[in-house]
Structure 1
Amino acid sequence: MFTPIERPTETPPAPGKILSDFGPVYASSGFIGWLFAVTAPVAIILAVGSGGGLSEGQIASWIFGVFFVNGLITILFCRLYRQPLAFFWTIPGTVLVGQSLTHLTFPEVVGAYYATAVLMLVLGATGSVKRAMELVPLPIVMGMVAGVFLRFGLDLVHAVFTDVAIAAPMVAIWLLLSALPWLGRRCPPIIGALLVGGLATIVLGRFDASASLQLELIRPVLQQPAWSLAAMVELVVPLAITVLVVQNGQGIAVLKTAGHEPPINAVAVACGIGSAITALVGGVSTCLTGPTNAILVGSGERRRQYVAGIVVGILAILFGLLAPTFTRLLLNAPKSLIATLAGLAMLRVLQTAFVTAFGSRFSLGALLAFLVTVADRPLLNIGAAFWGLVCGLAISWLMERADFAPKPKS
């Protein structure tokens, strides 16, 4: 039996009300939130797409889908619920797809996107999201996530050694802005790294200026799905977990901490619908973003923060429409710049994954999930991330049975 999706507690604001709630603080928060999304997360899409053998047109369509579609969803939800509900795409899922593209075709991956979308839609519409989130213990999930993310940390180290002139200044400015919070608030560390890396690339003459960089609107490349049992088994459950548990869980926690009440089931339904639409152009699954929402709730009055979310949505739509221009610009940059940018963006996430995985309960299961995922050896043509979850759950059930008991209430 379907349960009602959470209804907005207030009437959606009229355009005049949105304009009266608008202000420099919310414009700034929205711009910085959007700028974060178009730097390192886009670098991760480029790294995964290039490594998976996708064409420039396919990568541009992927970027168009995850910005344009999710920008529309962001505007709709921010207005309906009067909360800063920014939607983008699952970064762990993107990295997971990168592993899968080493032995699956892109149409098979797209087919798994559709199946994941249906699963999330059903879980959200039936109110089963919370129960589904409890099936796989979070430490085991994060053990798998740490295994998936590890190569980005390693690529960062390799980039520093192989291209010191570009990577080292990026790391240095990132460390400086991270170590001095008062300075980091004026220029977020990852954006500082991008600016310094771009400057070093230009000064050293490392940018490939042979390609045309004029403004170009997107001409989406529609992707035909292929239905593969191996892809379904390998990707659907892990992708749904990275969205509902890892990404949405982080975003919901950020919003609740700031005093908002995000509609959990409605968000899951939106992720399902958004994932199905972005899959048309090869985009990875939609999620409620944690980092961008954290930026949006970091300043201003709580009742007006939804406006910053609307700003993010508008800028995302514009960026998606111009995806070919930005894709070509970044693809012509040195690979070390992209690897360093993606690695720096993943450092804190990788740290959180390790702390969550090995902080207390289910640590042995988390360790096995991590090791199996890092080994990256497919079995039955199904990728290692899925087997990491399976092995982690199995070992915890055998060796850490007591950890499955509910925590005593304090």
Structure 2
Amino acid sequence: MGRTVGLTQPIVAGIIASFVGFAGVFTVVLQGFLAVGATPAQAASGLLAICFAQGILSILLSWRYRIPLSIAWSTPGSVLFAATGIIEGGFPAAVGAFVLAGALIVAAGLIKPFGRLVSSIPTVLASAMLAGILLGLCLAPAKAVGLEPALAIPVVLAWAFVGRIRKIWAVPAAVVTAVALIIWTAPTGGWSIDHMTPDITFVWPVFTLQGLVSLAIPLFIVTMASQNLPGIAVMKANGYEPPVQIVFVSTGIASILAAPFGGHTINFAAITAAMCAGPDAHPDPARRWVAPVAGGLFYLVLGLGATLAAALLAVAPPVLIQAATGLALLGAFAGALAGAISVPAHRDAAMVTFVTAASGLSFFGIGAAFWGLIAGGAFMLLNRKWSR
């Protein structure tokens, strides 16, 4: 009996972590898929695929190593999609880029020099690139209030007031409010119960140079710098030594397998990892591995609702989705911006990366995120050479 009671805490913690992780940013994920050319059915299939991939891996890895290994989707990757838009070749080319990004993650786990090269990317530049990608999306709530105040203000108020009570529930409250308004404002017959059934679509990947440079490489970089490295840091801060290479290889392979069904990269969780690996999950560190197992099982349940989520999104007033998405990303933007300016000597290079990534410029079909990293890196090297 005592053992059952003792397991209640990590089970509840894992379920809450999964709910917060899903409800907080599922709109970001769906918007990202739609932005790179997916149909609503393909977007729903992609959300289902990554829910299942991260849920199964969270269960298997945590069970195998008896430590709280939480796996999540790459939210910065979805943001990158929204900023990049449709590339030549459409969604099949984007799926090809998802496969290539997964292969790069596998390589980071198998090839030690490659992993060290990835780790050598300056954190300030990776953070600045992510902040630049996020800027336009984080402006959306204010713009939505100006365009449709009757719809956007309730979402913002729900986020603000609930956040004062319990910050972790702020974004889910905004999403729930947005969903309620979507249902209320949806035209009669705009969506039906048929959307409750999961959509599974298969897309043959198409490999293009533009997909590699504009999507795969930036997706790999933001996933490693903004998800995997912080996730590893969270684990170590809570006294765990995660099997990094095993996780890289397994998440990379799972990402490759999920890609033809529309899914993109999965990786170490960061925010939800803190919920599952910390004392709130269980006072005894040896029992916290139960939390991501429970959370993984709940992700399988949440994934079955992906088609309904996509159906709601299809009939939603755009300003509602923009407001909810922007609010969900404010914390990530603040963290990225803080990381970008954390080293005074590199602030100029970071700002070059930030403004370039935020500018939306494109050369040779290659998006601003990549050029931001190149511009900031070149400026950093110039400063080092000049200071000698």
TM-score by shorter chain over 0.5? yes
Q: Secondary structure at the match of 2:196?
A: coil
Instruction: Say if 2:177 is the partner of 1:196.
Output: yes
Match of 2:376 in 1: 392
Q: Secondary structure at the match of 1:287?
A: strand
Match of 2:339 in 1: 356
Cα distance in 1 for residues equivalent to 2:82 and 2:41: 17
Q: Secondary structure at the match of 2:185?
A: coil
Q: Unpaired segments of 5 or more residues in structure 1?
A: 1-16, 406-410
Cα distance in 2 for residues equivalent to 1:390 and 1:54: 29
Match of 2:78 in 1: 94
2:94 corresponds to which letter in structure 1?
V
Gap change, CA 1:135 and 1:235, over 3 Å in 2: farther
Q: Secondary structure at the match of 1:23?
A: helix
Instruction: Say if 2:192 is the partner of 1:212.
Output: yes
8 Å contact kept, 1:165–1:200: no
Q: Secondary structure at the match of 1:395?
A: helix
Match of 1:126 in 2: 111
Match of 2:217 in 1: 237
Instruction: Say if 2:28 is the partner of 1:44.
Output: yes
TM-superposed CA distance for 1:378, in Å, is 1.3
Match of 1:3 in 2: none
Aligned to 1:286, which of 266, 281, 288? Answer: 266
8 Å contact kept, 1:213–1:329: no
TM-superposed CA distance for 1:20, in Å, is 4.7
Instruction: Say if 2:302 is the partner of 1:319.
Output: yes
1:35 corresponds to which letter in structure 2?
F
1:164 corresponds to which letter in structure 2?
P
Match of 1:184 in 2: 166
Q: Secondary structure at the match of 2:112?
A: coil
Cα distance in 2 for residues equivalent to 1:321 and 1:98: 24
Match of 1:79 in 2: 63
TM-superposed CA distance for 1:336, in Å, is 2.6
User: Structure 1 vs Structure 2: percent identity of aligned residues?
Assistant: 28
Aligned to 2:241, which of 252, 261, 269? Answer: 261
Where in structure 2 are the equivalents of 1:134-213 lying within 5 Å? Answer: 134-179=119-164, 183-184=165-166, 188-201=169-182, 205-210=184-189, 211-213=191-193
8 Å contact kept, 1:27–1:311: yes
Match of 2:96 in 1: 111
1:159 corresponds to which letter in structure 2?
A
8 Å contact kept, 1:85–1:288: yes
Instruction: Say if 2:9 is the partner of 1:25.
Output: yes
1:134 corresponds to which letter in structure 2?
S
Q: Deviations over 1:352-410 (max 9, x none)?
A: 1111111214212211111111121211111111111111100110024599x9xxxxx
Q: Deviations over 1:165-223 (max 9, x none)?
A: 232222223223333xxx306x7111222233344555xx3134512135633241111
Q: Deviations over 1:294-324 (max 9, x none)?
A: 2223411321111110111111112223422
Aligned to 1:56, which of 40, 46, 51? Answer: 40
TM-superposed CA distance for 1:42, in Å, is 0.8
8 Å contact kept, 1:67–1:320: yes
**Structure 1 length as normaliser, TM-score?**
0.86
Cα distance in 1 for residues equivalent to 2:290 and 2:187: 39
1:267 corresponds to which letter in structure 2?
V
Q: Unpaired segments of 5 or more residues in structure 2?
A: none
TM-superposed CA distance for 1:37, in Å, is 2.1
Instruction: Say if 2:256 is the partner of 1:273.
Output: no
TM-superposed CA distance for 1:36, in Å, is 1.5
Instruction: Say if 2:325 is the partner of 1:342.
Output: yes
8 Å contact kept, 2:108–2:118: no
Quick check: which one's helix share is greater? 2
Instruction: Say if 2:357 is the partner of 1:373.
Output: yes
Q: Secondary structure at the match of 2:222?
A: helix
8 Å contact kept, 2:340–2:350: yes
1:392 corresponds to which letter in structure 2?
G
2:215 corresponds to which letter in structure 1?
L
Q: CA RMSD in A?
A: 2.4
2:185 corresponds to which letter in structure 1?
R
8 Å contact kept, 1:58–1:282: yes
Instruction: Say if 2:300 is the partner of 1:331.
Output: no
1:216 corresponds to which letter in structure 2?
M
TM-superposed CA distance for 1:57, in Å, is 0.8
2:152 corresponds to which letter in structure 1?
A
Aligned to 2:49, which of 30, 49, 65? Answer: 65
Cα distance in 2 for residues equivalent to 1:169 and 1:33: 25
Cα distance in 1 for residues equivalent to 2:245 and 2:359: 35
